[in-house]
Amino acid sequence: MEYLSISQTAVKWGITTRRIQRLCAEGRIPGATKIGSYWEVPADAEKPKDERIKSRNYIKRDSTKIS
């Protein structure tokens, strides 16, 4: 299996290297492997869907309740 570095993957997907690192750490890129302090991403891996909140519709928490 062929692997790409984080910087190569960032260029391929058009996102930052830091975002790739976060996706790898969160386990959202199947087959990504950490070797020492570096991540290897499979060359055939697909870019995960962006699940960050963009609509500004945050979940409001009731501050009167004790968790």
Q: What is the DSSP letter of 24?
A: H
Correct CATH for 1-67 of 3.40.50, 1.10.1660, 1.10.287, 3.30.1360: 1.10.1660
pTM: 0.73
In this predicted structure, the answer to whether residue 19 has a pLDDT above a threshold of 90 is yes
In this predicted structure, the answer to whether residue 67 has a pLDDT above a threshold of 60 is no
Residues 67, 60: Cα–Cα separation, whole Å = 14
Helix (H, G, I), strand (E, B) or coil at 31: coil
Q: What does the pLDDT average to over 1-27?
A: 94
Helix (H, G, I), strand (E, B) or coil at 5: coil
Spell out a b/e string for 50-66, using b for 16 or more CB atoms within 10 Å of the CB, else e: eeeeeeeeeeeeeeeee
In the chain, where the domains are located:
1-67
Binning pLDDT at 50, 70 and 90, where does residue 50 land? Answer: confident
39 burial (CB, 10 Å; 0-12 / 13-18 / 19+) is buried
